[in-house]
């Protein structure tokens, strides 16, 4: 009634302060790592760095940018992410679309066959044995082939397809279009929001994923995606600096280089995120409300 | 499409042919996903047999002596494995008690925020950490919380307090990890509650206004009951995952000093199975976890549907 007209009260002020603290909690950790990456090792060791660079330097950044393994891994992860998005969307559409046809015989059994894989998985070791038999160990294809469809995303896509009115499908079929024509001409053009959302989910999953590489590419470091390389960088120098007095030539240099690596690995996500945020939000409600 | 149709009196044959002509393309599309799931999900189920054999990584599964449940029994005699089970359940419990209510409270507060632009900015920033990998979150946590050079301990020392061993003492590490998980996902998890709040009948608020209800009372007596179904469903679905743990969350933040509390079932399977080559033992543990997980998931999905929700599928 008087929602807009009423004055700001103490409650509003409390909520605004709370939200400002929340924003600070989200941003300060990132500012800290940026500050560390641009600070001198000496300043880091003297505990002077909090949220702004002290004794500004760009050498640590240059160390990472000039590291051919790191930049190669960034480029490879980018290419890999592109491939995975295309392959996964293709496979997800292939599974989701036919299952929207009520008249398809065996639909229930096929759906159960697919959903069961979400319920029960054989686990890491049986998968490892299979990949060994298929010569996928230390083979970069292991980052693409085993994860071509997320059943959860497939269900989201199927539900979205099912929301498209049957009358559109029927009128296209009247014009002599088969299921494939209907998919290309009607379903896909109407599904761009869900395609964008699921494509982005697949992209983030691949960009942030490293477990498959950790498990299945033990002796192929050239194919390690950026997160695994970053994991190794963070583990090797120091996870907890109580354990590393004088690990590298200049004390503190390791921390600044690690921070620079974190910042560079974060940049692609942080740059893309603001522009695609609405698709992610859409996806979160699609999955939860309809799934 | 071009299968010739029999134009005679044989109606049955006619309908079958037209069924095939209308649906063959659909089966052709499904072929690839069906093969994919067969190879990458069903074939490994055969390899489960390794859990019942003597550990041997060279011979095929069927040529290795069968040992029955010995690997399963051995697993439960191992203290590190018992620790891993305990830790998995402990983190699930902490996530449930601390992590589950957090987005509900945040969503209620965001809903009370009256400035649309500020609200949008807050939401955008609070969703962002969800898109950072656990490796990055672990790196950020190390930079913030390490004993000697971490920003938080720097500030504490500067203000004259003693340092807090956030990452090197067991109890501190557990809570640092739980709060890092909340930091990463609390904003993102408000989305579903905010969507549910917009569906609450506005007349209820008007009626409450008539009765002179304060904002806090409206929050408690109108908004919260309005989203209760969603809360219950999400709670049930969360319960279905208590035997699971996200490997990257523990690998990304762990260090040797806290291994007794940072080891969960997936990290244990990885270390014992792939790093120490105890294939049979690790496979047995994997199956143990999978089967319990399946029953929990089935049970929670059933309960969620029973309570009027949608479940996972």
Record the tokens describing residue B46, joined without a space. Answer: 């055969």
pLDDT (tens digit, 9 = 90+) per residue, A27-66? 999 999 999 999 988 888 888 888 898 988 888 888 888 8
Across the interface, of B26, B139, B192, the residue whose CB is closest to A258 is B139
A-chain residues within 8 Å CB-CB of B265?
Answer: none
Chain A to chain B Cβ contacts (< 8 Å): 293
Across the interface, of B26, B146, B251, the residue whose CB is closest to A240 is B146
Q: What chain A residue is nearest to B115 in terms of C-alpha separation?
A: A16
Closest to B285 measured CA to CA, from A147, A126, A136, A211: A126
| Contact (Cβ atoms closer than 8 angstroms) between residue B183 and residue B126 | no
A-chain residues within 8 Å CB-CB of B252?
Answer: 231
Rounded CA separation A160/B269 (Å): 37
pLDDT in tens, chain B (313 residues): 444 444 444 555 556 677 787 788 899 999 999 999 999 999 999 888 888 888 766 666 667 778 888 888 888 899 999 999 999 999 999 999 999 999 999 999 999 888 889 999 999 999 999 999 999 999 999 989 988 888 898 889 888 888 889 998 999 999 999 999 999 999 999 998 998 998 888 888 888 888 888 888 888 889 999 898 889 888 888 888 888 889 999 999 988 888 899 999 999 999 998 888 888 999 999 999 999 999 998 888 888 888 776 666 5
A-chain residues within 8 Å CB-CB of B121?
Answer: 23
Q: What is the ipTM of this complex?
A: 0.89
Interface test with A, best of B40, B168, B220, B297 (most A CBs within 10 A): B40
Could you tell me the CA-to-CA distances from B77 to A236, B83, B245 in Å, in that order?
Answer: 33, 11, 22
Closest to B281 measured CA to CA, from B289, B273, B293: B273
Could you tell me the CA-to-CA distances from A191 to A181, A186, A269, B152, B185 in Å, in that order?
Answer: 15, 9, 24, 47, 28
Across the interface, of A18, A101, A114, the residue whose CB is closest to B26 is A101
Burial class (CB in 10 A: 0-12, 13-18, 19+), B55: middle
| Contact (Cβ atoms closer than 8 angstroms) between residue A51 and residue A63 | no
Rounded CA separation B70/B73 (Å): 5
Rounded CA separation B102/B253 (Å): 21
Closest to A115 measured CA to CA, from B244, B307, B298: B298
């Amino acid at each position: 009634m008087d929602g807009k007209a009423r004055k700001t009260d103490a409650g509003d002020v409390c909520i605004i302060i709370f939200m400002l603290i929340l924003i600070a909690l989200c941003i300060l950790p990132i500012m800290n790592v940026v500050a560390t990456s641009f600070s001198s090792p000496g300043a880091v060791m003297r505990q002077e760095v909090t949220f702004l660079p002290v004794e500004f330097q760009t050498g640590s950044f240059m160390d990472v940018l000039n590291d051919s393994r790191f930049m190669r891994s960034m480029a490879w992860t980018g290419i890999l992410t592109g491939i995975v998005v295309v392959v996964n969307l293709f496979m997800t559409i292939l599974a989701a679309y036919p299952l929207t046809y009520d008249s398809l015989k065996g639909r229930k059994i096929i759906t159960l066959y697919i959903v069961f894989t979400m319920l029960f998985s054989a686990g890491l070791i049986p998968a490892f044995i299979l990949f060994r038999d298929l010569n996928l160990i230390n083979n970069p294809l292991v980052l693409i082939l085993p994860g071509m469809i997320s059943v959860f995303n497939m269900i989201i896509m199927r539900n979205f397809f099912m929301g498209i009115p049957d009358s559109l499908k029927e009128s296209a079929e009247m014009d002599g279009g088969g299921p494939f024509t209907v998919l290309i001409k009607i379903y896909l053009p109407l599904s761009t929001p869900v395609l964008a959302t699921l494509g982005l989910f697949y992209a983030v999953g691949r960009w942030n994923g490293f477990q498959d590489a950790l498990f299945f590419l033990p002796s192929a470091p050239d194919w390690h995606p950026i997160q695994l390389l970053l994991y190794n960088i963070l583990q090797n120098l120091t996870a907890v600096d109580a354990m590393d007095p004088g690990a590298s030539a200049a004390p503190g240099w390791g921390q600044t280089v690690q921070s620079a690596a974190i910042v560079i690995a974060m940049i692609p996500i942080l740059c893309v995120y603001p522009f695609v945020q609405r698709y992610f939000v859409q996806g979160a409600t699609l999955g939860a409300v309809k799934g | 499409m071009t299968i010739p149709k029999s134009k005679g009196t044989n109606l049955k044959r006619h309908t079958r042919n037209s069924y095939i002509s209308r649906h063959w393309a659909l089966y052709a599309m499904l072929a690839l996903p069906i093969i994919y799931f067969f190879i990458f999900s069903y074939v490994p189920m055969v390899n489960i047999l390794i859990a019942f054999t003597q550990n041997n990584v060279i011979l095929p599964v069927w040529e290795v002596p069968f040992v029955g449940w010995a690997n399963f029994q051995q697993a439960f005699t191992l203290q590190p494995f018992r620790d891993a089970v305990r830790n998995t359940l402990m983190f699930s419990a902490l996530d449930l008690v601390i992590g589950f209510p957090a987005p509900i409270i945040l969503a209620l507060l965001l809903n009370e925020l009256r400035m649309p632009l500020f609200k949008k900015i807050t939401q955008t920033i609070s969703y962002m950490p969800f898109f950072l990998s656990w490796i990055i979150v672990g790196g950020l946590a190390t930079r913030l919380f390490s004993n000697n050079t971490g920003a938080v301990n720097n500030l504490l020392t500067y203000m004259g307090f003693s340092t807090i061993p956030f990452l090197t003492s067991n109890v501190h590490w557990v809570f640092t990890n739980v709060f890092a998980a909340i930091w990463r996902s609390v904003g993102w998890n408000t989305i579903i509650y905010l969507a549910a709040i917009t569906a609450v009948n506005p007349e209820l608020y008007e009626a409450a206004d008539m009765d002179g209800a304060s904002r806090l009372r409206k929050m408690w007596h109108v908004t919260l009951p309005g989203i209760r179904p969603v809360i219950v469903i999400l709670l049930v679905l969360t319960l279905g995952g208590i035997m699971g743990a996200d490997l990257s969350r523990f690998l990304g933040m762990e260090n040797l000093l806290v291994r007794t509390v940072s080891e969960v079932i997936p990290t244990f399977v990885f270390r014992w199975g792939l790093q120490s080559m105890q294939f049979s033992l690790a496979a047995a543990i994997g199956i143990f976890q999978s089967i319990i997980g399946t029953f929990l998931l089935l049970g929670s999905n059933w309960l969620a549907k029973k309570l009027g929700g949608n479940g996972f599928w």
